[in-house]
Every structure is written in C-alpha cells, then in structure tokens.
Amino acid sequence: MYLHAGNNKLIRLKDIIGIFDTDNTTISAVSRNYLKNAEHNEMLERTNDEIPKSFILYKNKENKYKICFSQLSTSALKLRITENLK
C-alpha cells in the first residue's frame, strides 16, 4: 500500500520511518541541522512549491533515506494511511 503525499507523490507505507510536523520540529536546532544536512546530501524532495506543513522520512528503492516535504498536515496524512489500511 502507498501513501499519497500530495501532487502525485506516492510512498510505500512499509518504507515510511516517520511523519513530522514542520512547525514543531523546526523549532529544535537538532532538527534544523538534520534538515540542512539532508538538503546538502540531496535527500530532500518537495511535492510542490507551497510552504510545507509536514515532512516524511522514508527509505527509497535504493534503500537510501529520503525526506519528502508535503503541503498536507500530519493529521491529513495519518487519515490517508488509516483509510488505506481499512
């Protein structure tokens, strides 16, 4: 099964490590440094150019960590996951 993260971006549910709210996580210096390093290492993906509300940490097909920013909230993504599991 897949999670639709927005703008036709699909992520396999079994590959998802975590879904994070950008407002809450970017307060921490540790999180900001992690995202900065991820950008430097070309791990970031965006579903569109809008301000992201959340990001998803997952492993891609090559078993590498990736971060996908989404304009959807964490609660909307969670709802999509629970609907897929029904």
Domain boundaries, the chain: 2-85
Per-residue pLDDT of the chain (86 residues; tens, 9 = 90+): 999 998 889 999 999 999 999 999 989 999 999 999 999 999 998 777 888 999 999 999 999 999 999 999 999 999 999 987 77
- How far apart (Å, rounded) are the C-alpha atoms in residues 31 and 28? 5
pTM: 0.89
Q: What is the distance between the alpha carbons of residues 50 and 79, in angstroms, rounded to a whole number? A: 21
Q: How many CB atoms lie within 10 A of CB 16?
A: 18
Burial classification of residue 5, based on how many CB atoms lie within 10 Å of its CB (0-12 exposed, 13-18 middle, 19 or more buried): buried
Strand partners, 56: 19, 68
